[in-house]
């Protein structure tokens, strides 16, 4: 289960079992789409109001295959956002932040070192003082 906290310091944390629950909205009534179905059958997203309150409240009976839409969204994000250029920019900004907060004396955690290794595999090199 994925833990989602929209606001840092929030007192409560929302749990989402499915990637797009609460994010997709119904075009007819504006309600959030929710995941429904079971592991024995395919899981799908559908209008939350239609699911809970019936077609008298919202006539949108559409069902969207969860696996297909989640794959499409993740693929689109990876192609459009997680580009080499955007990751390089992010690394540059993080490096600048580390410089200002730590005065240049940067000590990487094992997790950060692993991330730098992963970035190096796709051709993104960190400044030599971080390696």
- Region 54-81: mean pLDDT is 86
Give the pLDDT band of residue 125 (cuts 50, 70, 90).
low
Per-domain residue ranges of the chain: 2-80, 84-130
Indicate if the pLDDT at residue 129 is higher than 70.
no
Q: CA 131 to CA 129: how far, in whole Å?
A: 6
User: Quick check: pTM over 0.95?
Assistant: no
Q: Is the dihedral of CA 78, 33, 19, 41 positive or negative?
A: negative
Instruction: Tokens 């119904």: give the residue.
Output: 26
What pLDDT score does 101 carry? 65
Indicate if the pLDDT at residue 18 is higher than 70.
yes
The residues, any chain, with a CB within 8 Å of residue 126's CB and separated by 6 or more, are 91, 95, 116, 119, 120
What pLDDT score does 89 carry? 83
Q: C-alpha 80: how far from its chain's center?
A: 13
Residues in the chain: 131
43 close to 36: Cβ distance less than 8 angstroms = yes
User: What would the pLDDT profile of 22-52 be if each residue is shown by its tens digit?
Assistant: 788 999 999 998 888 865 578 888 999 988 8
């Amino acid at each position: 289960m994925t833990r989602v906290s929209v606001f840092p310091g929030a007192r409560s944390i929302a749990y989402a079992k499915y990637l797009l629950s609460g994010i997709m909205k119904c075009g007819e009534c504006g309600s959030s789409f929710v995941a429904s179905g079971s592991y024995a059958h395919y899981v799908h997203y559908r209008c939350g109001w239609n699911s809970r309150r019936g077609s008298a409240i919202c006539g949108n009976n559409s069902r969207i295959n969860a696996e297909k839409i989640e794959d499409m969204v993740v693929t689109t994000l990876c192609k459009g956002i997680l580009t080499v250029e955007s990751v390089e920019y992010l690394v540059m900004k993080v490096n600048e932040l580390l410089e200002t907060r730590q005065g240049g004396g940067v000590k990487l955690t094992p997790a950060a070192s692993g991330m730098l290794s992963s970035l190096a595999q796709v051709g993104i090199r960190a400044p030599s003082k971080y390696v």
